[in-house]
Amino acid sequence: MSLRARLILSMLSMLGIAGGVCAVIGANLLWRNLSQEAEDRVEQDLNAAAEFYQQRLAAMASTLRYTALGERFLEAVEARETTYIAPRLDALRQAAALDILDITDARGTVVYRSQHPGSSGDSLAQDPLVASVLAGGDVTTATLLVPMAALGKEDPRLAERARVPVLATPMAAPTAATELTEGMMLCGAAPVRGAGGKLCGVLRSGILLNQNHDLVDQVQNTVFRNEQYGGKPLGTATIFQDDVRICTNVLQADKRSRATGTRASAEVRDRVLGQGLPWLGRAWVVNDWYLAAYAPIQDPDHKPIGMLYVGVQQRRFDDVALKTLLTFGVVTAVGLAAAGLVAWKLGDSISRPVRELARASETIARGDFCEMVPVRSSDEISALARTFNAMAASLRQRDEQLKERTRQQLTRSERLAAVGRLAAGVAHEINNPLTGVLTFSHMVLRDAPAGSQQHEDIEAIIEATTRCRDIIRGLLNFSRQNEPQKRLSNLSDVLHDALNLTRNQALLHRVTLLEQLDPHLPALVIDPHQVQEVAVNIILNAIDAMPDGGALNIRSHAVEGGRWVEFEMADTGHGIPAEILDRIFDPFFTTKPPGKGTGLGLAISYGIITEHGGDISVSSEVGRGTTVTVRLPVERKKEEPNAT
């Protein structure tokens, strides 16, 4: 396949993937935002519906309180003057749209029923609200379930309204009931008190919710503004008695009749009525999905007896999301077509220079860094060609530098190896005679009189012989006759011990030791005594380089992802001239005065670090100080085979 074809396919693939990912992410974000917005709206709508519900109860309480406080009404109740009470209650019932409005005496016996004047004399003392007032309570309202018999006493038509048939509904819990046997009412009761606060009677009212759609229509008109979608109301509201819709503006499948008698899903019923908790989310409502919110309706004993519901059609949000996805798809398709055309043109202008770059790259891969790519213009491809040529020149320069550095390292290693072999031979030849001289010198010293010239001469011989012995030991160490005893060690601990050994020496020369040791370094497989010897050599050299005092900063840290561990020692001494910097690791090379050093310290240190597979380097600037960097490898643990 040609470069042009691959370029076109690559660009189309990338744009297709990017467009698809953007479409998926955008759709997901849109769906989440729409869902969150819908849930927030439904929750607000439920709060508004609940407020309407509470306002209806509050209005009933205000009506009862206002009526019960009337002086003339109080006198009529005390005298049981029904000729005044009857028209007063009838007018009040009609004005407040009440279904029942009764007055009882101080014992709860009915004096007059506005809706059914011929029915009186029975007791309402068992009614929860009337009982609360008879017990000394004030105006009270609540939602109650009222038996059919009690509704029949108020008005036989109310009992008929309450008989809502229970219809089979998809996703509802199984039930054997065919119709409701109670009615749900908004009820209120207010005391009628005479002089001194004496209870003269109880004013009782109620609004039957069964098949009374005024409240839910008010919610739809006010909250949803009668907005339609798909031939059905966009937003709906319902009041449930248990899980049965008794007043609703949810429509049946024919989109004309209200879904009175249908039931809520079993999932909603279990949460709202079973657990007494609100519901917010996607729910099946009669024959469609809605974003719905449900809240329990409780009686005075806080028992859930029904539910208040509002919902918005889920299909509206699904359609918005679908339209957005289609828009994303069209935009992506147009982008792919435009990208294909651009890729075709671009591939035609790139293929020839790229072939030249590929050919030059193959030449450089074979080790010929002299290859150059022709530069024909000033466009981006030509800039790439110029960059390629600069890269080739840089590779050529680095190759030469690498060869030179490798040559220097090989020369140093060969020189150190030769000196090491020479040192080993010399040390073996003179170590034993030197030991004999030192031993016999000590024996003669015991016989020489103290304070005599002979005693002083022998002490001079012992001092010179001891110095020779130390040099021989240095030669032996340099020739690495002592094999390292490696074990798992913490480099920071080794460096800390080296600092403790040299702390007094530093204090004597007014040198401040600054520790920045990482306590969490990976463990190393090293000979801690040899590495400590290296650290001590470097510290002592640094102290000697600061005769007038100064500071020595010791740092340790892991590098290259934990594959290596480094420690650096940076002093503020007089520095090392550039012309002798390459000779500091040579055996017997030293800048110290005669008698102050053997010139083997850094050479031995170099041998120890090399033996450990590491590297030691020195950078210095005259007048500003020297930094010695030691790098050691972290040995990786090998995976052990699984036990069988």
pLDDT tens for each residue of 518-575: 888 888 989 898 898 889 889 988 898 898 899 999 999 998 888 899 999 999 988 8
Q: In what order do the strands lie in the sheet with 550-559?
A: 511-517, 550-559, 564-571, 625-633, 615-621
Separation of alpha carbons 190 and 129, rounded Å: 9
102/217 Cα distance (integer angstroms): 27
Q: For residue 352, what are the CA distances in angstroms to 347, 349, 382, 531?
A: 9, 7, 12, 58
Strands (E), 453-611: 487-489, 511-517, 524-526, 550-559, 564-571
Identify the band that residue 639 occupies on the pLDDT scale cut at 50, 70 and 90.
Answer: very low
pLDDT band at 643 (very low <50, low <70, confident <90, very high): very low
Q: What is the mean pLDDT of residues 244-270?
A: 91
pLDDT band at 197 (very low <50, low <70, confident <90, very high): confident
What is the rounded CA–CA span in Å between residue 128 and residue 301?
10
Across residues 505-523, what is the average pLDDT? 89
Whether 42-330 and 483-633 share one fold: the answer is no
The pLDDT, as a whole number, for residue 644 is 35
β partners of residue 626: 620
pLDDT in tens, 383-441: 777 787 777 778 777 777 776 766 666 566 556 556 655 666 666 567 667 777 777 77
- In the three-class reduction of DSSP (H, G, I as helix; E, B as strand; rest coil), residue 501 is classed as helix
Give the pair of three-digit tokens for residue 419: 């000196």
Q: Does 81 or 4 have the greater pLDDT score?
A: 81
Cβ atoms within 10 Å, residue 172: 21
> What is the rounded distance in angstroms from the CA atom of residue 446 to the CA atom of residue 442?
7
The answer to whether the CB of 284 falls within 8 A of the CB of 311 is no
Nearest to 146 by CA among 133, 132, 163, 131: 163
CA gap 160, 182 in Å, rounded: 10
* Residue 188 β-bridge partners: 141, 205
The region of weakest confidence among 251-255, 455-459, 495-499, 617-621 is: 455-459
What is the spatial distance between Cα 175 and Cα 173, in angstroms, rounded to a whole number? Answer: 6
Q: Decide if pLDDT at 252 tops 70.
A: yes
Instruction: Output 20 or 640, whichever has higher pLDDT.
Output: 20
**Mean of pLDDT over the chain:** 83
Lowest average pLDDT, out of 260-274, 306-320, 412-426, 519-533, goes to: 412-426
Model confidence pLDDT, tens digit, residues 7-33: 667 777 777 777 777 777 777 777 778
Query: Cα–Cα distance between 136 and 390 in angstroms, integer?
Result: 101
Give the residues across from 627 on adjacent strands: 570, 619
For residue 62 the two structure tokens come to: 């205000």
pLDDT in tens, 579-598: 887 777 776 666 665 555 55
pLDDT digits (tens, 9 = 90+) for 275-304: 999 999 888 888 888 889 999 999 999 999
CA atoms of 110 and 112, how far apart (whole Å): 6
- Nearest Cα residue to 180 out of 212, 150, 155, 210: 210
Tokens of 83: 């000729």
- Check residues 291 and 636 and name the one with the higher pLDDT: 291
- Cβ–Cβ contacts within 10 Å for residue 458, how many? 20
Q: What is the pLDDT of residue 29?
A: 78
Helices (H) and strands (E) in the chain, counts: 15, 19
Three-state SS at 188:
strand
* pLDDT value of position 642: 44
Q: Which residues of 370-390 are buried (b: 16+ CB within 10 A; e: fewer)?
A: ebebeeeeeeebeebbeebbe
- The architecture that CATH gives domain 483-633 is 2-Layer Sandwich (3.30)
As a whole number of angstroms, the distance between CA 98 and CA 67 comes to: 14
Segment 233-256 shows an average pLDDT of: 90
Q: What is the pLDDT of residues 149-191, one digit of tens each?
A: 999 999 999 999 999 999 988 889 999 889 999 999 999 999 9
* Spatial distance between the Cα atoms of 592 and 587, rounded to a whole number of angstroms: 14
For residues 182 and 334, the model is more confident at 182
pLDDT top residue among 487 and 428: 487
39 or 114: whose pLDDT is higher? 114
* Runs of H (alpha helix) within 187-250: 214-219
Give the residue among 602, 576, 609 at the shortest CA–CA distance from 588. Answer: 602
* Of 627, 487, 514, 492, residue with least CA distance to 558: 492
Between 4 and 523, the higher pLDDT residue: 523
Distance CA 382, CA 606 (A): 48
Structure tokens at 624: 């500003």
pLDDT at 585: 73
Tell me how far apart the alpha carbons of residues 73 and 91 are, in angstroms, rounded to a whole number.
13
In the predicted model, is pLDDT for residue 498 greater than 50? yes
Q: Which residue has the tokens 């919610």?
A: 219
- Which pair of tokens denotes residue 42? 């439904």
Write the CATH number of the domain with boundaries 42-330: 3.30.450.220
Check residue 246 and give its pLDDT. 95
CB atoms within 10 A of CB 505: 14
| Residue located via tokens 């209650």 | 89
Least confident segment among 99-113, 254-268, 452-466, 476-490? 476-490
Residues 6+ apart with CB under 8 A from 596: 544, 590
pLDDT of residue 196: 81
Residue 36, pLDDT score: 80
Q: Radius of gyration of the chain from Cα atoms?
A: 51
Q: Which two tokens stand for residue 288?
A: 């469609």
Measured at the alpha carbon of residue 117, what is the angle toward residues 114 and 122, in degrees to the nearest 5?
100
Per the model's pLDDT, the better-predicted residue between 321 and 80 turns out to be 80
Domain residues of the chain, as ranges? 42-330, 483-633
pLDDT of residue 31: 72
| pLDDT confidence of residue 102 | 94
Residue listed under structure tokens 């068992």: 126
